[in-house]
Structure 1
């Protein structure tokens, strides 16, 4: 499933960032996220076995969620991600070669940017979705200002420090989606904890969207 398919299914534009997840727990955690309403799931490549975790979730859950990889900082990692069935790539930076190769490999791309120059470089390389990181450090006013100068088709995802407490503020500023990491999942969290946090975030998103 691609990101657009997940959104079309009614899922909110919330990406769960499962940094540090173990392969043996990936499917169960992924299922809990889907049950809570989150259908965009990212495993960063600085996790213990990212390719194995992604492959396991793609096999078990790929028809119900978009499964991708994060911290993709090279063409080699992009190839690995595509090879295990990942449907989207997230990076912490703007590398035109990584972006273009990921698109060529059939994946959606969410490159990380901080400045307008980086945002336009990512768009020029073919990106539509842009990850502002760290999202909360710069404030919602920064997102509002950036959104006003970007092309209309560009979509900003705020990642880092955005959650139920401030989600409405970022939505009002023009944020299209969010990525949620440590406030949703940390190594050692059990399924019940992840499920409760996921439901809280989805409820906050729905409330902010009314």
Structure 2
């Protein structure tokens, strides 16, 4: 049976299969940026832990949007950081690598696990540890044919997300592919952008993803 956190994540992913990567976000910007993203339809928000005061930003976002968005941390490299994210209200743990201890701690805390993988070996290890999806990272090294080959051997229904090098102009490259969604960073948010600029980027990306979803047969 799915938990409430898993149900929230599934609903948010179904609404818009984009993970917003807010690297460099500072706490004073968190609510304004979160508002424009949620209003644009993006409901999965990630603050990487190499951002300034990330736990404060995650806590602010979780408090403001936790009832209608999935909020959490990215670039989570250590198992001990999982508890810190959980303590401030985070619901999702995202990593650039496949660290089975991070995955196991995430699942034990009742959170969503989205680890980074680049090979079938890493993907199987992640899934065996309890990952909810496989983040294909860095996306610049992954092609639709590579993703198709990996999907052919992974358990049926494995969710694949492309993360890295994704923009409103490159999403069409994945038309008809086996991937299920995208993690998007610098083409959505960069430090110094205003909330209005982030909102405009979000609208363009949401439009591109909707076109991609309409063309894809997964």
State the shift of 1:6 in Å.
4.6
CA RMSD in angstroms comes to 1.4
Q: What corresponds to 1:69 in structure 2?
A: 73
Could you tell me how far apart the structure 2 residues matched to 1:91 and 1:6 are? 17
Query: Which one of the candidate residues 168, 171, 178 is aligned to 1:167?
Result: 171
Could you tell me how far apart the structure 2 residues matched to 1:138 and 1:157 are? 11
Instruction: Normalising by structure 2, report the TM-score.
Output: 0.92
Classify the secondary structure of the residue corresponding to 2:76.
coil
Q: What corresponds to 2:37 in structure 1?
A: 33
Classify the secondary structure of the residue corresponding to 1:57.
helix
Matches within 5 A, 1:65-104: 65-104=69-108
State the shift of 1:166 in Å.
2.2
Matches within 5 A, 1:43-192: 43-192=47-196
Give yes or no for contact 1:184–1:194 (8 Å, CA) kept in 2.
yes
Q: What corresponds to 2:200 in structure 1?
A: 196
List gaps (5 residues or longer) in structure 1: none
State the shift of 1:137 in Å.
2.5
Aligned length: 210
Could you tell me how far apart the structure 1 residues matched to 2:197 and 2:74 are? 22
Classify the secondary structure of the residue corresponding to 1:94.
coil
Which stretch of the first structure deviates more once superposed, 166-175 or 62-71? 166-175
Classify the secondary structure of the residue corresponding to 1:67.
strand
State the shift of 1:171 in Å.
4.5
State the shift of 1:7 in Å.
4.2
List gaps (5 residues or longer) in structure 2: none
Classify the secondary structure of the residue corresponding to 1:72.
coil
State the shift of 1:194 in Å.
0.3
